[in-house]
Amino acid sequence: MYKTHLTSHHISISPSLLTQNQITYYNTPQKFIYIYIYIYIQSWKLKTNKQTKMGSLKGGTRPPWVGLGAAVWVQIAAGNAYNFPLYSHSLKSVMGFNQRQLTMLGVANDVGENMGLLPGLVCNKFPPWVVLFVGAFACFFGYGLLWLALTHTLLSLPYWLLWFALCIATNSSAWFSTAVLVTNMRNFPLSRGTVAGILKGYGGLSAAVYTEIYSVLLNDSSPKLLLFLTLGIPTLCVVMMSLVRPCTPASGDDSSEHNHFLFIQAASVVLGVYVLTTTILDDVLYLSAPVAYSFLLVMVLLLMAPLAIPVKMTFYPSDRSKSALTQDNGNGEKTEPLLEPSSSEVNLERFHESESLSEVDMLLAEGEGAIKKKRRPRRGEDFSFSEALVKADFWLLFLVYFIGVGSGVTVLNNLAQIGIAQYMHDTKVLLSLFSFCNFAGRLGGGVVSEYLVRSKAIPRTIWMTITQVIMVITYLLFTSALSGTLFAATSLLGICYGFQFSIMVPTASELFGLKNFGMIFNFMSLGNPLGAYLFSGLLAGFLYDNEAAKQHSSTCLGPTCFRLTFLVLAGVCGIGAMLSIVLTMRIRPVYKMLYGGGSFRLPQSSNP
């Protein structure tokens, strides 16, 4: 007897390759019986698993929407890194740091926020609640140490330890975002751009939410803010752990799904406008405590709006849900549909079954001549992380994203100092304005790119090109330091910065699949801290301190403080726009393949 060794890592099989002659040639009694018994067992297992999976969580029912509603709160928690401008000035004055030391703390803020390779790996091995728990612990430990230092509870903490503590604290953002983004992208695989836009939009809006809490609840106190981050955020994430979980993907043919997404998007816009308005009112007018707390309560209610969808589905189930429940009642036997399944339902079925089918195919094809070397995945199919690393499109997308968010985060990290340099000492309004526009860019990027990619199969990256051209103009506007341009430049930059996030996330999943999306997305996210280190830590901080030294002060005033920095950032974004054009031209055929029929088609090899 001989043995044939088969591994899924080295081969792929097609049952059609096993011809009748090959079956006869290898028709030893043991092998013949073994193959067909195994095929029968695997087919039975596949049928049982499918019925169990589809029976427990029907596509388009409440569980995915409950998880999306909970994910909104976790995304707000994941925006804790945006609070750095609110307490950075206190750190600088209390700890006696210069601007370069402060900007390097800003780099730690961004490194921690975007160091997500480990969360990306863990999310493929463990359920989402484990990822959220690790993030909650990192938040508690890191911000707790910063609070102890700022309140002088612990004296003489070395600079490197504070840098490390801030890195750990903001790394919680990577764990939170990875858990909810990967889970919900898999729960809604046919609406990736919309889901990414919603979740990233709420993440961008989180800075304005924290600013409201900082002003009303914490009385503009940096120590109280750090204590809130130490205790409040972990508590929130522990509460939401059980709600964020994988579910059977909702079908794209459910007409109510589109309306549900529209409701969440509208609720987020209302929340964004509301928070920005109340922040400005609080800055301009004196609000009594009852009024301020009323504003805060309304904000919390608006944050709960996405949970209205599963509540509505509970009390007013759709006809589709009722029919699904009817089919499950009785003797538990599967009822055949009266009509043939739609193309999207077939794709969803493939989405779940392809992995199990490949095992059956491998045994069907045992024998010489039925084995062929596994081909490398094509763009649009599932890539392993190592396979994606050798693709030119991967590195082009990384460079374009690195330039867009790396230059934008430089302004965000130095926003307080930019405002002070232009004689604006209360920078809460600037931060809230940037946050709202960042949110608008993230949400708008998801909505606009989703519409154009479905209607005209235009690659999403065209919007990275357009926004980086606008960023060139914006940095030149910052350079001019003309009266009244600070708010306009901050708004434009926030929108463009938000677009980069909402475009990169679905683009990475469409080019390289969802199977290893956590690792691929988090590697792309490293462009943020890399840009912060190069443009903020090495460039902006160095030039600011030089200008401050010329003024014989630790605080620089006037347009010269950041002028050269903004000119460099404008030139870098010009290069980014050109790289984005190259990427868009390269991946156009991929989008023609995925969206040529007017709706997203899952490749056969896609696995969750």
Over residues 162-218, the pLDDT tens digits come to 999 999 999 999 899 888 888 888 888 777 778 887 888 888 778 778 888 888 888
Give the H/E segment covering residue 535: none
Higher-pLDDT residue of 256, 445: 445
Q: Are 185 and 196 in contact (CB under 8 A)?
A: yes
What single letter denotes the amino acid at residue 279? T
Rounded Cα distance between 156 and 95, Å, is 9
The model's confidence at residue 377, banded by pLDDT at 50, 70 and 90, is confident
Query: Among 13-17, 85-89, 370-374, 418-422, which is the least confidently predicted range?
Result: 13-17
Q: Does the pLDDT value for residue 333 go beyond 80?
A: no
How many Cα atoms occupy the beta-carbon half-sphere of 73 within 13 Å? 26
Q: What tokens were used for 57?
A: 């969580």
Q: What tokens were used for 278?
A: 């109340």
Helical segments of 457-536, H only: 462-480, 485-512, 517-524, 527-531
pLDDT digits (tens, 9 = 90+) for 100-123: 788 788 878 878 887 878 888 888
Rounded Cα distance between 269 and 205, Å, is 10
CA 269 to chain centre: 19
**Residue 88: its pLDDT value, please?**
83
Q: Does the pLDDT value for residue 40 go beyond 60?
A: no
Higher-pLDDT residue of 328, 255: 255
pLDDT digits (tens, 9 = 90+) for 225-234: 999 999 999 9
Q: What is the DSSP secondary structure assignment for residue 249, as one 8-state letter?
A: P
CB neighbour class for 324 (10 Å; exposed up to 12, middle 13-18, buried from 19) = middle
Mean pLDDT (the chain, rounded):
77
Taking alpha carbons only, the member of 506, 443, 412, 439 closest to residue 109 is 412
Q: What tokens were used for 482?
A: 């003309």
Mapped onto helix, strand or coil, the DSSP state of residue 490 is helix
Q: Are 470 and 408 in contact (CB under 8 A)?
A: no
% of the chain with per-residue pLDDT over 70: 76
Higher-pLDDT residue of 7, 404: 404
**Residue 353: its pLDDT value, please?**
43
Q: Are 402 and 535 in contact (CB under 8 A)?
A: no
Residue holding tokens 């080295």?
A: 10
Which residues lie closer than 8 Å to 366 by C-beta, 6 or more apart? 4, 6, 26, 31, 35
Rounded Cα distance between 555 and 544, Å, is 9
**Residue 42: its pLDDT value, please?**
54
Distances (CA, A) of 80 to 76, 129, 211, 289, 392: 8, 19, 11, 25, 33
CA distance between the termini of the chain: 39
Give the H/E segment covering residue 339: none
Q: Are 202 and 268 in contact (CB under 8 A)?
A: yes
Give the H/E segment covering residue 557: none
**Residue 57: its pLDDT value, please?**
42
237: which strand partners?
A: none
The pTM of the whole model exceeds 0.85 = no
Query: Among 107-111, 129-133, 278-282, which is the least confidently predicted range?
Result: 278-282
Q: Are 175 and 138 in contact (CB under 8 A)?
A: yes
12: which strand partners?
A: 372
**Residue 584: its pLDDT value, please?**
93
**Residue 7: its pLDDT value, please?**
39
Rounded Cα distance between 376 and 382, Å, is 10
Q: Does the pLDDT value for residue 483 go beyond 90?
A: no
